[in-house]
């Protein structure tokens, strides 16, 4: 089963993972103080929904496609240095830090710029060898 999930940082500082899809009458969602914790809670909601439907739960059959907001992306992929990423993406460093913290939110053009930089970085990493 393929599930599309959205990850966002709330104004309360907590992260949420939710899907507009549902299993039977069960809506899928999770919360946590980190993206990892919210994802684990989200996965538990999937497990519970399967149980309520009386369907055997097989984690390997679940394919979740996550869509992150900017603060959630940098929380989960905290290995990425935000200042260096801002330089790589051509974005003001202090604005990028504000986006990361959720103090400010990028507009559509800036979000697209961030997305293109993420894709470029992913491509460069995928063809690198040691």
DSSP string for 23-84: ETTEEEEEEESSHHHHHHHHHHHHHHHHHHHTPPP-GGG-EEEEEE-HHHHHHHTTTS-HHH
C-alpha of 87 from chain center: 22
Report which of 36, 39, 32 is spatially closest to residue 62, judged by C-alpha positions. 39
Q: What is the pLDDT of residues 36-79, one digit of tens each?
A: 999 999 999 999 998 888 888 888 888 999 999 999 999 999 99
* pLDDT for 105: 93
Which range, of 24-28, 63-67, 96-100, averages the lowest pLDDT?
24-28
* pLDDT for 66: 96
Share of the chain above pLDDT 70, in %: 100
* pLDDT for 55: 83
CATH number of 2-68: 3.30.2390
Q: How far apart are CA 5 and CA 62, in angstroms?
A: 12
* Domain parsing of the chain, residue ranges: 2-68, 80-127
Confidence class for position 5, pLDDT limits 50, 70, 90? very high
- Answer yes or no: is pLDDT of 26 > 90: no
Over residues 105-124, the mean pLDDT reads 96
Q: How far apart are CA 103 and CA 16, in angstroms?
A: 17
């Amino acid at each position: 089963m393929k599930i599309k999930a959205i990850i966002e940082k709330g104004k309360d500082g907590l992260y949420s993972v939710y899907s507009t899809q549902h299993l039977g009458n069960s809506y899928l969602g999770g919360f946590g103080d980190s993206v990892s914790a919210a994802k684990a809670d989200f996965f538990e909601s999937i497990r519970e929904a399967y149980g309520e439907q009386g369907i055997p739960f097989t984690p390997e059959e679940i394919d979740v496609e996550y869509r992150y907001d900017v603060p959630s992306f940098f929380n989960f992929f905290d290995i990425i240095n935000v200042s260096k990423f801002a330089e790589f993406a051509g974005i003001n460093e202090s604005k990028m830090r504000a986006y990361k913290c959720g103090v400010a939110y990028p507009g559509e053009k800036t979000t697209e710029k961030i997305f293109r930089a993420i894709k470029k970085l992913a491509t460069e990493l995928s063809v690198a060898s040691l």
